């Protein structure tokens, strides 16, 4: 990732503010330098600045005063040289004549000078062909001097120089203002593009969600303030998609479960109807036969009641019952209430150990777990007399219940499939008369809804062992 991509928006704003200062200053220096350079070039080509007519005329008294000052010294010529030193000899000429001839000369004579002198009178100010002359008579120490002061009326006079300075200043200010505007437009646009891209990506993500594409991920490899926002969006999209898929899976599972239960209810209903019709039609002619038919009706009604109970579990949300207070007490109660029934059916219920703790599930839910475990062991026992043991345990950071029997067990590769709805494994588990195949699936749902985990393995009695565990602190 390049430095430009890695720059955060805050850093870009700071950089933009810095450039907003540096760029106009740089432009101002360039424009100012260019203006000075152009002015200097013009001055150099024109030979410097001279006096225009107005300035030259206004300065005549000052010039005479300076000359008078020079003649007041012991060496007037030396002072005159110093006086003329700042002047441009190509633009200005000072000629002083005494009775004997030339007394002092400064500057280059031009062809028009002789004409100007021929027209000069004391105190005259004459202009001809871009050349000005100020002529005066001057007396010092009883010596008469003729002072002629020539000056070019240059195109770049002081007045014109002022105009040039005004123009240069205007150009300078215009350049500064233009640089600020252009800099602001460029930096603002650049910054906006950096902000616009992730905003458009977020907008596209919202549109995808609106269309139902909740698993949509925003492709963004920037490293700025938008990165955590887009990362959170992608994480939220993944969670939402997973939740929706989970809801769909749960709904599909419930549909399958309800469909299977409805199918399984038909069998006991058919038996009840047949037994009832047999009694009404007089088929059960003896008291013993009537009793047998009535017992069939009773047993099938109990079976239907159990199926309806299972349906209420698989179609209802998570258990909202009051958490169980005593696991050991609930096991004892279940065994006391159902021991005789299971003994008549050939299954002995036992409890190992003396542990006791609360579980994070309601009493009815826990009773359903125990009933389904016992029913599953009863359905698939092979011996005339089977045994099912309930054992509470607390190991490491988990606690829970394990139930194991001396039944035929399950192959190792089929253990993870036991908790799938309607799974019966081998041929002995595939007969409809052995039940709906929902017992362990419902156990898993109840345990997982309570925050626990369920697993299956070979038990110490050689049969199947079902372990249900919860993290310590969950219900204890």
Beta-carbon contacts of residue 327 (< 8 Å; ≥ 6 apart): 356, 357, 358, 359, 366, 392, 401
pLDDT tens digits, one per residue of 206-226: 888 888 887 788 887 777 777
Cα–Cα distances (Å) from 162 to 56, 369, 389, in that order, read 16, 104, 114
- Name the burial class of residue 118, with classes exposed (0-12), middle (13-18) and buried (19+) by CB atoms within 10 angstroms of its CB: exposed
Q: Return the pLDDT at 105.
A: 93
Could you identify the residue written with the tokens 């109807």?
Answer: 273
Confidence band for 331, pLDDT divided at 50, 70 and 90:
very high
Mean pLDDT of 85-112: 89
List phi, psi (to 5°) of 461: -95, 5
Domain boundaries, the chain: 3-47+160-203, 53-153, 318-471
pLDDT tens digits, one per residue of 145-161: 999 988 886 544 555 55
Residue 357 in this model has a pLDDT that exceeds 50: yes
Mean pLDDT of 275-286: 82
Residue 103 in this model has a pLDDT that exceeds 80: yes
Q: Which residues, in sequence order, are bridge partners of residue 405? A: 388
Q: Return the pLDDT at 146.
A: 92
Q: How far is Cα 396 from Cα 332, in angstroms, rounded to an integer? A: 25
Mean pLDDT, all residues of the chain: 78
Per CATH, the number for 53-153 is: 3.30.450.20
Instruction: List, as one string, the DSSP characters of 294-362.
Output: HHHHHHHHHHHHHHHHHHHHHHS-S--SPPPS-HHHHHHHHHHHHHHHHHHTTEEEEEE-------SS-
Residue 405 in this model has a pLDDT that exceeds 80: yes
72-76, 250-254, 275-279, 342-346: the lowest-pLDDT one: 250-254
Residue 188 in this model has a pLDDT that exceeds 60: yes
pLDDT tens digits, one per residue of 415-466: 888 887 666 555 444 444 454 566 788 888 888 888 889 999 999 999 999 9
Confidence band for 3, pLDDT divided at 50, 70 and 90:
very low
pLDDT tens digits, one per residue of 20-50: 666 667 766 776 677 666 655 654 454 444 4
Mean pLDDT of 339-365: 88
Confidence band for 348, pLDDT divided at 50, 70 and 90:
very high
Residue 107 in this model has a pLDDT that exceeds 50: yes
Q: Which of 386, 390, 257, 241 is nearest to 312 (CA)?
A: 257
Q: Return the pLDDT at 349.
A: 94
Domain 318-471 has CATH 3.30.565.10: yes
Residue 402 in this model has a pLDDT that exceeds 60: yes
Q: Return the pLDDT at 5.
A: 45
């Amino acid at each position: 990732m390049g430095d430009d991509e890695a720059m955060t928006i805050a850093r870009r704003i700071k950089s933009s503010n810095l450039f907003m200062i540096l760029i106009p200053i740089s432009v101002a220096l360039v424009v100012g330098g260019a203006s000075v350079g152009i002015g200097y070039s013009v001055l150099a080509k024109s030979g410097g600045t001279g006096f225009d007519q107005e300035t030259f005329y206004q300065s005549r008294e000052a010039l005479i005063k300076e000359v008078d000052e020079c003649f007041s010294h012991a060496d007037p010529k030396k002072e005159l040289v110093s006086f003329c030193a700042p002047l441009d000899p190509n633009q200005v000429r000072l000629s002083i004549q005494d009775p004997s001839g030339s007394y002092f000369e400064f500057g280059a004579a031009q062809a028009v000078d002789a004409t100007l002198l021929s027209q000069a009178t004391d105190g005259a100010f004459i202009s001809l062909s871009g050349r000005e002359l100020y002529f005066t008579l001057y007396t010092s120490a009883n010596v008469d001097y003729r002072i002629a002061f020539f000056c070019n009326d240059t195109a770049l006079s002081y007045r014109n120089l002022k105009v040039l300075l005004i123009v240069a200043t205007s150009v300078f200010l215009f350049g500064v203002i233009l640089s600020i505007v252009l800099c602001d437009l460029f930096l603002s646009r650049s910054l906006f593009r950096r902000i616009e891209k992730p905003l458009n990506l977020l907008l596209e993500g919202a549109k995808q969600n609106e269309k139902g594409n909740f698993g949509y991920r925003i492709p963004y490899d920037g490293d700025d303030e938008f990165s955590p926002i887009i990362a959170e969006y992608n994480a939220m999209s993944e969670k939402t998609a997973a939740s929706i898929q989970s809801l769909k899976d749960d709904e599909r599972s419930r549909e399958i479960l309800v469909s299977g239960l409805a199918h399984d209810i038909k069998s006991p209903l058919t038996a009840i109807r047949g037994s009832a019709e047999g009694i009404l039609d007089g088929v059960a002619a003896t008291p013993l036969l009537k009793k047998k038919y009535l017992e069939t009706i009773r047993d099938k009604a109990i079976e239907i009641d159990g199926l309806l109970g299972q349906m209420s579990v698989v179609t209802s949300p998570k258990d909202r019952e009051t958490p169980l207070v005593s696991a050991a007490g609930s096991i004892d109660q279940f065994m006391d209430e159902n021991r005789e029934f299971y003994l008549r059916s050939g299954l002995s219920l036992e409890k190992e150990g003396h542990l006791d703790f609360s579980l994070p599930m309601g009493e009815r839910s826990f009773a359903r777990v125990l009933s389904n475990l016992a029913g599953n062991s009863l359905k698939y026992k092979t011996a005339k007399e089977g045994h099912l043991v309930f054992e509470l345990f607390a190991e490491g950071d988990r606690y829970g219940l394990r139930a194991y029997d001396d039944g035929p067990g399950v192959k190792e590769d089929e253990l993870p499939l036991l908790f799938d709805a309607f799974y019966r494994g081998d041929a002995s588990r595939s007969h409809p008369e052995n039940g709906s195949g929902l017992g362990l699936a419902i156990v898993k749902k109840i345990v997982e809804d309570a925050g626990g985990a369920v697993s299956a393995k070979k038990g110490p009695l050689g049969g199947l062992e079902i372990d249900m565990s919860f993290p310590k602190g969950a219900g204890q």
